[in-house]
Amino acid sequence: MKVFRSKKTLQDYIERQKEMGKKIGFAPTMGSLHEGHLSLYTQASKENDLVISSVFVNPTQFNNPSDLEKYPRDFNRDIKILEKAGNVDAVYLPEIVDLYPDGLKSKGYDFDGLENEMEGKFRSGHFDGVGTVVEELLLQVKPDNAYFGEKDYQQLLIIEKLTEKLKLPVKIHGVPIFREKSGLAMSSRNERLTPEQRESSKVIHETLIKVNDWFRIITIPEINKRIKDIFDDQRGMMLEYFVIADEKTLKETDFFYKGHDYRAFIVVFVNDIRLIDNMHLD
Ligand code: AMP
C-alpha cells in the first residue's frame, strides 16, 4: 500500500493511474479506523480497479474545540489496519496546507436546505466544513466513485448535493451502517467509551428498532414522547435530538404521508461523547 503525505506526490500517482485507465474508488475518513470504515473499502474494491482512502481530522467541521481536541488520532495504527485489510491501494495523509492552501477556513455552501436540518441546527458551520474538505479531496483524488457511510446519512445526502451542484464527475455511493455485536453503530468516538458506557449505549440502536416497530402504528408525537421517556431514564446519557424525517428532504415530519420514505435520526451524549445513529423505517 502506498502512503502519500503531500498533495504533490498524490497527484503524480493519480495522474499515472488515470493514464492507465484505472477506475478509482475513494473513501475519505478522519482515521481511528474501525470495521465501519473497512466496509467502505470492501464495497469500493468490488467496484473499482484501485481503492484510495484518506485520513485527515478536518478542523473546520468541528463546532466544538474540545471535541476536536479529544478526537482520537493514531496514524501509525491506521496504516497498520489498512495494510492488514489488504484492499486499499493507497492512503493520503494530507497536511493542513495541502487542503487549505489559503488558511483554515470553510467556504459557504447552499445545499438546498439540507444543511439546515438536524446536524445543521446543532453543529453550526459543520456542513460548510465537510463540504470544503470533501470538495478539495474529490478535486485532488479525482475518483470515479466515492463511498460514504449511511451512519452520517445527512452528510451523505449533502455530498450527493455538493457533487451535483459542482458537476463533479464522481458517483457517490452510500454504504450501510456497520454495527458492533450489541447493535451500537461503529464509530471512532466509541473508543472513548468505558466498557460500561459501551454496554449501555446499545439502547440507542434498540430504541431505533422500537421506533421501526411503532412506525405507522402510533403517531409521531407519541413516538417522540416515548423516546424522551426512554432517555430520561438513562443515567449518564442525554438525548440531543430524535427526529423522524423524510428520507429525501430530511424535513422533520409529524405525520406519515403515503408514498414517502422515512428515517429516524438520533443523537445521544454519553457524558461528553456524542453518538449518532439512524434507521430507515419500513
Ligand atoms: P469518519 O472517519 O467518522 O469521518 O467516517 C468516514 C466515513 O466512514 C464516513 O463516510 C462515515 O459515514 C463512514 N462510517 C463511519 N462509521 C461507519 C459505520 N459504522 N458504518 C458505515 N460507515 C461508517
Alpha helices in the chain (DSSP H): 7-19, 35-47, 65-70, 75-85, 96-99, 119-122, 126-141, 153-165, 195-200, 202-214, 220-232
Look at the domain 2-175 and name its fold.
Rossmann fold (3.40.50)
Find out whether 153 and 263 touch, Cβ atoms under 8 Å. Answer: yes
- The three-class DSSP label of residue 113 is coil
Find out whether 106 and 67 touch, Cβ atoms under 8 Å. Answer: no
The reported pTM is 0.97
**Mean pLDDT of the chain, nearest integer:** 97
Q: Is 31 left (phi over 0), alpha (psi -120 to 50) or beta?
A: left
- Candidate of 38, 55, 151, 275 to mutate for ligand 1, largest count of ligand atoms within 8 Å of Cβ: 151
Residue nearest to atom 12 of ligand 1 (CA): 149
What is the CATH number assigned to the segment(s) 188-280?
A: 3.30.1300.10
* 177-228 pLDDT tens trace: 999 999 999 999 999 999 999 999 999 999 999 999 999 899 999 999 999 9
| pLDDT at 244 (0 to 100) | 98
Rounded to 5 degrees, φ, ψ at 108 are -105, 130
List pocket residues of ligand 1, CB cut-off 6 Å. Answer: 29-30, 36-37, 39-40, 148-149, 151-152, 175, 177-178, 185-188
Identify the segments of the chain with pLDDT beneath 50.
Answer: none
Location of each CATH 3.30.1300.10 domain in the chain:
188-280
CA distance 15 to 13: 5
| pLDDT at 216 (0 to 100) | 85
Percent with pLDDT over 90 in the chain? 98
Location of each CATH 3.40.50.620 domain in the chain:
2-175
First to last CA, the chain: 41
